[in-house]
Amino acid sequence: MASTIIFPNAAHVIQLYLQHKEIVIIADARTNGFCLATACKYIPALQDARIITIPAGEENKNLLSAEWIWMQMQSLHVHKDYVIVNLGGGTVTDIGGFCASTFMRGIPFINIPSTLLAMNDAAFGGKTGINFMDTKNTIGTFANAEYVFIHPDFLNTLSPKQIANGAAESIKHALIHDKKLWELYKNATDFTHFTNLENIQQSIAIKNYFVQLDPLDVNERQSLNFGHSIGHAIESISLNSNNILLHGEAILLGMLAELQLSETIYNCPAIVRKDAEALKNRLYPTVKFTFSKSEILEKLLFDKKNTDTINFSLLKNIAAPMVKTKVSKEQVLQALSIFDA
Ligand SMILES: NC(=O)c1ccc[n+]([C@@H]2O[C@H](COP(=O)([O-])OP(=O)(O)OC[C@H]3O[C@@H](n4cnc5c(N)ncnc54)[C@H](O)[C@@H]3O)[C@@H](O)[C@H]2O)c1
C-alpha cells in the first residue's frame, strides 16, 4: 500500500502511531546532528529511540553500510513490532528502507526526508536500494514507508548546493505534468519557490500521480525518467572526472539534451528548451557539460543494455510526456551537441 504523506499540521498522526512502539532511527552522521532535534520537536515519540548512524554521502549507500545497519538491528533485537524511522536525504531513505524491508522479511518503516530531493522524490514511491559494483541502485526492493513526514524546517540547515540539487526534480515534475508550476519556475531568479511548502506538496502530488498509475514502473511511471537516461550517464561519467556533478545537476543537463530530442522527435516547441536553458543559466551557472559525447553515449548504451536504439521518456510538450520512445545513437549525439557552444 502506498505511503501516507504527512504534512506539518498533521505531525500528531505519526506521534500517535509511534507513541507506544519501539523505535530505531537510522540517520547519517550529518542528519543525526542537524535534524534529530527538529524531528523530536514535531514527533516527541522519537526522543527515546535508539539510533543507528552511517557515514554521510551517496558513496555510503552500499553493502557495507547495509551490513552495518543489519548488525545493529540484530544487536538491538529489532523484530516485527519495531518501527524503523529513516531520518535523512535519499541516501538514508533508500538504504534505511532497504534494510528495514529485508530484515526479518520486513520491519515497518517511516521516512523523514531532510533534503529537498528526498522530500520531492526519494522518500516515497516504494523504491529502496543500494548501489553495487559501481552501478546505482542495483540491489533493492519495492517497499513503501508507512508514513512520510514532510517539513520544510529541515531545509534550513541544507546547503544551497543541495537545495539546487533537489530543485532539479521539482523542475522535472513541472515539465512533465504541470504547466502552471512550469510558468512559475521558468521565471525563477532564486530557489524560494522550490522550498515553499505548497510547491513541495504539488511536486509530491505529481510524482504520486504517476506512481499510483503504474506502481511497478512498467509504463506511465516511466515519465518520471525524463532527463534521467542522459542524466544518469552524465552523472556516472562525472564521478570519475574533475567535474563531479550531483544527481540533480546531472539530471538538469540530461533534461536539456532530452528536450532537444523531444524537439527532434515529437516537435516539442523549441521555446520549452530555450526557457529551460535560460533557467539553468540563471540558477545553475556553474553546472557545465565538460564531457566527451561519445563517452556519454557509450555509458548510455551500457546502462540500457541497448544496441542500435535506446528507450527514452520524452515530452511532446509541457505536461505531455511520451514513454518508451526509441532513439538512435545519432540522434543522441546530435542532442548532446547543444552543449557545444
Ligand atoms: N528511491 C527513489 O525513488 C529515489 C529517487 C530519487 C533519488 N534517490 C536517491 O537519493 C539519493 C540522493 O539523495 P539526496 O540528494 O537527498 O542526498 P543525501 O541523502 O546523500 O544528502 C546529501 C547531503 O546532505 C546532508 N543532509 C541531509 N539533510 C540535511 C539537512 N537537513 N541539513 C544539513 N545537511 C543535510 C547529508 O548528510 C548528505 O551529506 C541517491 O542515492 C539517489 O539514488 C532515490
% residues pLDDT > 70 (the chain): 99
What mean pLDDT is predicted for residues 307-329? 93
The pLDDT confidence band at residue 307, using thresholds 50, 70 and 90, is low
Q: Is 31 in the pocket of ligand 1 (CB under 6 A)?
A: yes
Q: Do domains 4-156 and 161-188+216-339 have the same CATH topology?
A: no
Rounded Cα–Cα distance for residues 119 and 123 (Å): 6
Residue 63 clears pLDDT 90, i.e. is over it: yes
The pLDDT confidence band at residue 309, using thresholds 50, 70 and 90, is confident
Domain map (residue ranges) of the chain: 4-156, 161-188+216-339
Residue whose CA lies nearest to ligand 1 atom number 12: 90
Residues 6+ apart with CB under 8 A from 338: 256, 257, 260, 273, 277
Residue whose CA lies nearest to ligand 1 atom number 13: 90
Q: Is 112 in the pocket of ligand 1 (CB under 6 A)?
A: no
* Ligand 1 atom at minimal distance to the Cα of residue 166: 15
Rounded Cα–Cα distance for residues 24 and 113 (Å): 16
Is CATH 1.20.1090.10 correct for 161-188+216-339? Answer: yes
Rg (CA), the chain: 20
Question: How remote is the CA of residue 150 from the centroid of ligand 1, in Å?
Answer: 14
Strand-pair partners of 25: 51, 85
Q: Is 153 in the pocket of ligand 1 (CB under 6 A)?
A: no
Residue 306 clears pLDDT 90, i.e. is over it: no
pLDDT at residue 157, rounded to an integer: 98
Q: What DSSP state is assigned to residue 52? A: E
Residue 236 clears pLDDT 90, i.e. is over it: no
Rounded Cα–Cα distance for residues 255 and 247 (Å): 12
H-state helical runs in the chain: 11-18, 29-42, 63-75, 90-102, 116-117, 160-177, 179-186, 192-195, 197-213, 228-239, 247-266, 270-283, 293-304, 329-336
Of 10-24, 72-86, 101-115, 232-246, which gets the smallest average pLDDT? 232-246
pLDDT at residue 308, rounded to an integer: 76
What mean pLDDT is predicted for residues 204-216? 95
Residue 115 clears pLDDT 70, i.e. is over it: yes
What fold, for 4-156?
Rossmann fold (3.40.50)
Residues 126-152 pLDDT 10s? 999 999 987 788 899 999 999 999 999
* HSE toward the beta carbon, residue 124, CA cutoff 13 A: 28
Residue whose CA lies nearest to ligand 1 atom number 33: 158
pLDDT at residue 72, rounded to an integer: 98
The pLDDT confidence band at residue 305, using thresholds 50, 70 and 90, is low
Rounded Cα–Cα distance for residues 250 and 247 (Å): 5
Measured in whole angstroms, how far is the alpha carbon of residue 234 from the centre of its chain?
16
Contact 247, 89 (CB under 8 A): no
Residue whose CB lies within 8 A of the most ligand 1 atoms, among 87, 117, 172, for a mutation test: 117
Q: Is 122 in the pocket of ligand 1 (CB under 6 A)?
A: yes
Rounded Cα–Cα distance for residues 336 and 300 (Å): 12
Contact 77, 22 (CB under 8 A): no
What mean pLDDT is predicted for residues 194-218? 96
* Ligand 1 atom at minimal distance to the Cα of residue 57: 20
pLDDT at residue 239, rounded to an integer: 87
Rounded Cα–Cα distance for residues 83 and 234 (Å): 37
What mean pLDDT is predicted for residues 151-168? 98
Query: Taking all residues of the chain, what is their mean pLDDT, rounded to a whole number?
Result: 96
Nearest alpha carbon to residue 96 among 118, 125, 70: 70
% residues pLDDT > 90 (the chain): 93
| φ, ψ of residue 22 in degrees (nearest 5) | -80, 130
Task: Give the SS3 label for residue 289.
Answer: coil
Residue 103 clears pLDDT 70, i.e. is over it: yes
pLDDT at residue 338, rounded to an integer: 97
DSSP string computed for 142-159: E---SEEE--GGGGGGS-
The pLDDT confidence band at residue 164, using thresholds 50, 70 and 90, is very high
Residues 6+ apart with CB under 8 A from 92: 26, 27, 28, 31, 54, 86, 114, 118
Rounded Cα–Cα distance for residues 85 and 41 (Å): 15
